[in-house]
Structure 1
Amino acid sequence: MSQIFSPPWWAKNPHIQTILPVLTKVDRPVLQRERLELADGDFIDLDWQGTPEAKQPILVIIHGLEGSAESHYARRILAASKASGLCAVVHHHRSCSGELNRLPRGYHSGDTEDLHCTLQHLKSHFPNNPLLAVGYSLGGNVLIKYQGEQQELSLIDKAVAISAPLQLGSCANRLEKGFSKVYQCYLIKQLQQKMHGKVAKPELSTLMPINKHDIDSLTTFYAFDDKVTAPLHGFDGVDDYYNRASGMPYLSRITKPILVIHAKDDPFMTEAVIPAREQLSQQVQYELHENGGHVGFIDGGSPWRPRYYLEKRILNFLISLEKSPC
């Protein structure tokens, strides 16, 4: 069913839609951390809200680049999940839970293996509980790619992807232009800080593809992905990474229900992320809105207490809201 999102007059600017939610986070949820040890000797952290009852769905939340359970969108969906009686767990990408991961490698936009490990872990402990998922930005791209790769074997029954950068190369190019450079600078500084942390570790420094003196020169995503992301994760340069990790080709292969939401005015993206009808499988429901910014979608309230479209739409798509509390 097609939905209509309409921003208030004061939130039609895409940068207001993108920035204001960061400045108006909801209260921090009470979460229980679980550390998942990986086969390669590394770890990822899962943050739980509630304990699922028998056969109760579990919502898996997949955050975006340099996000976490602390991200504004994660806090809001956690609050909405709690209010609706839905148990939820945040899947943290490596190094995003507040502690550097142990290996030189980190995470990237096409990293579906770690997500699969989390899902297998959940299924092993809760085999009769349906798994639902929502992915934001980079996490949305990972989710789409995973669903397209796994098809009927996917452990996720139903999913939602928000503001996914489905063509990574065009998105990297967009972030080098105009006001969008502000977002790039903010995120690159966080990535650089983590790289400095890794090269400072004697056991990792000689394994890194870059030394501490060159990290700060990587001021664009294209440069960072070429010198760091690609070599650390087995890609033959940045273009190979962007081609192989982009989610767009996987939309046609998805065999389980998924809702994909984009905004035309998203300052992280270009029209290249908007799929044509023939690129979508019958299980993909696509919503393209004129406004919304990047993971914004403020639909009312006031600048001091904005109200949002996303949480209502996500939960209405994934599951009935009439659930008993965890």
Structure 2
Amino acid sequence: MKQVTQHHFKAPWWAKSPHVQTILPVMTKVTMPTLERQRLELSDGDFIDLDWLRKPTENQSIVLMLHGLEGSAKSHYIRRMLQTCKQHHQAAVVHHHRSCSGEANRLARSYHSGDTQDLQHTLITLKRQFPSSPILVVGYSLGGNVLTKYLGEKQSEALIERAVVISAPLRLDACAEKLEKGFSKVYQKHLINQLQYKTREKVSHPRLGQHMPVTAKQVTQLNSFYKFDHQVTAPLNGFTGVDDYYQRASGLPYLSQICVPTLVMHARDDPFMTDAVIPTATQISDTVEYELHHQGGHVGFIDGGTPLKPRYYLERRIYNFLTGESPC
């Protein structure tokens, strides 16, 4: 394991707060490039939507992006990475988790932090359509946890050449607990409101409502991730309860099994997490490079510019690692 602590990244004086690092990027989104949608039909009757920036030429690699909880191709970090790929004439595509592409999915269940089957379906599809194209993957937050778990499960059989994991909640129980404290509750409320809205829509659906484990009245009481995951996520996805879900879906135990060159990046001040997500040397395989920075917030890592036009360390580091170019 190679551990880097603030070797390349340093927050400017005006962005040292973890909340500035986390919130400012949301408020200063870059332009959304034109994307082409591809729908993948699944064997269970549901679907996955892929949004393509550019399809690969012969032997050209593909950068596949996995967004975080309730994110999409419109998320600030995805937009910036798409723009970076556009500047480099790089083939790139966004994998949307079920229900996150702007259209509700067809089943009572949607997605969760440990769901690697949908990612595998996307990867198999890309390999079938573009057999000569190496697949490079970056996962953010929840998408990073999914990616970590997938890499550890598949090991040498992973359909990925290189990977980057950003701000992943590798210990779901610790992260759920952190989001119930202090200012972090603001982030929890924002995300829970989105999950409650989608859940209410399914509860009221003529066909899906009968398969939902909660009533419309109960949905309003699910005001924390722990409660929501215990009463909705766990029963809809075959877990015995929230503790079973958090234990089986967390990515941390899978880090030691990864065989693909992978960069994992955390900020110690991430308001979504605690030190419990920080792996020890024995928990990481030799193919994993771990970066722990003192600052950076959650999927932030602003390293310059101005408050009106921040500059980011993230995209440079991700692109350079995925493509094997010299470190920034």
What range describes the TM-score normalised by the shorter chain of this pair?
Answer: over 0.9
Which of 132, 135, 139 is the equivalent residue of 2:136? Answer: 132
Q: Deviations over 1:215-267 (max 9, x none)?
A: 01100000000000000000010000000000000000001100000000000
> Quick one: distance in 1 between partners of 2:128 and 2:152?
22
Gaps (5+ residues) in structure 2? none
**Aligned position for 2:47:** 43
Query: 2:312 matched to 1:315?
Result: no
**Aligned position for 1:194:** 198
Aligned pair count reads 322
> Quick one: distance in 2 between partners of 1:198 and 1:71?
24
**Aligned position for 1:298:** 302
2:154 is paired with a residue whose SS is helix
Q: Deviations over 1:27-47 (max 9, x none)?
A: 011000001000000001000
Equivalent residues in 2 for 1:100-119, closer than 5 Å: 100-119=104-123
- The alpha-carbon deviation at position 62 of structure 1 amounts to 0.1
TM-score by length of 1: 0.98
> Quick one: distance in 1 between partners of 2:238 and 2:64?
27
> Quick one: distance in 1 between partners of 2:195 and 2:30?
25
2:273 is paired with a residue whose SS is coil
- The alpha-carbon deviation at position 297 of structure 1 amounts to 0.2
* Amino acid aligned to 1:315: Y
* Amino acid aligned to 1:24: T
> Quick one: distance in 2 between partners of 1:123 and 1:4?
34
Structure 1 runs of 4+ with >4 Å offset: none
Which of 153, 158, 165 is the equivalent residue of 2:157? Answer: 153
> Quick one: distance in 2 between partners of 1:47 and 1:197?
24
Alignment root-mean-square deviation, CA:
1.0
Percent of matched pairs sharing the same residue: 63
Which of 12, 25, 31 is the equivalent residue of 2:35? Answer: 31
**Aligned position for 2:63:** 59
**Aligned position for 2:292:** 288
Q: Deviations over 1:26-84 (max 9, x none)?
A: 00110000010000000010000012100100000000000000000000000001111
Which of 236, 239, 248 is the equivalent residue of 1:235? Answer: 239
**Aligned position for 2:281:** 277
Preserved contact between residue 84 and residue 321 of structure 1 (Cα < 8 Å): no
> Quick one: distance in 2 between partners of 1:115 and 1:302?
36
Which of 198, 205, 211 is the equivalent residue of 1:207? Answer: 211
Gaps (5+ residues) in structure 1? none
* Amino acid aligned to 1:278: T
1:26 is paired with a residue whose SS is coil
> Quick one: distance in 1 between partners of 2:239 and 2:161?
30
Preserved contact between residue 62 and residue 140 of structure 1 (Cα < 8 Å): yes
Q: Deviations over 1:73-121 (max 9, x none)?
A: 0000000011112111000000000011000111000000000000000
> Quick one: distance in 2 between partners of 1:151 and 1:219?
37
- The alpha-carbon deviation at position 320 of structure 1 amounts to 5.0
Which of 163, 168, 171 is the equivalent residue of 1:164? Answer: 168
- The alpha-carbon deviation at position 316 of structure 1 amounts to 0.6
Which of 69, 75, 80 is the equivalent residue of 2:79? Answer: 75
> Quick one: distance in 1 between partners of 2:324 and 2:89?
10
> Quick one: distance in 2 between partners of 1:51 and 1:273?
35
Query: 2:259 matched to 1:259?
Result: no
TM-score by length of 2: 0.97
> Quick one: distance in 2 between partners of 1:301 and 1:200?
47
